[in-house]
Structure 1
């Protein structure tokens, strides 16, 4: 029992040295936000002949890639399809 008490007395400063209490709120973090520039004006889509009566035209758009915009051309999609 005496050796356990001696080990505890010797280990107590080592165990207490790893503990600390943080006073006040954490330091502020620097957050940098980038805003994408507005897209260029829409390009002219050439609407071709529909592949069938159950197809609808979906117009083109500019897509942001994180580095710039690129044009996604319009296309036909079968009526009833949904975005997921």
Structure 2
């Protein structure tokens, strides 16, 4: 097969793969999740009464296989000097990317 034909075939395969959601490792601990369309509207959750030493991490939609699944909210153990920034979906071009929740100073 000629080099230009291989190059064209490789680009076609990458373009086809790019139309589907992708989870790829960025580092040993981080995974980037890309979804081809926006998540549904967040579900209403009753937030439990405050719990000493913990913060509530609200529920969110997670991309799984070929669609979104709901992940209910849960408690995160608090960290002194930090506040919890919940994860969220952000638009990146024609796709949506999950930005994980994290602790910030």
Question: TM-score interval w.r.t. the shorter chain?
Answer: 0.5 to 0.7
Q: Which structure is larger by alpha-carbon Rg, 1 or 2? A: 1
In 1, Cα distance between equivalents of 2:48 and 2:54: 12
In 1, Cα distance between equivalents of 2:43 and 2:2: 57
Following superposition, the deviation at residue 59 of structure 1 comes to 0.8
* Greater per-residue strand proportion: 2
Following superposition, the deviation at residue 77 of structure 1 comes to 1.3
Equivalence for 1:57: 56
Compute the TM-score of the two structures, normalised by the length of structure 1.
0.57
Ranges in structure 2 where 5+ consecutive residues have no aligned partner? 21-35, 80-101
Equivalence for 2:38: 38
The 5 Å alignment of 1:1-84 reads 25=4, 27=6, 28-29=8-9, 30-31=12-13, 32=16, 33-35=18-20, 36-50=36-50, 52-80=51-79
Shift of the 26–77 alpha-carbon distance from structure 1 to 2, 3 Å rule, reads same
Q: CA RMSD in A?
A: 2.7
Equivalence for 1:7: none
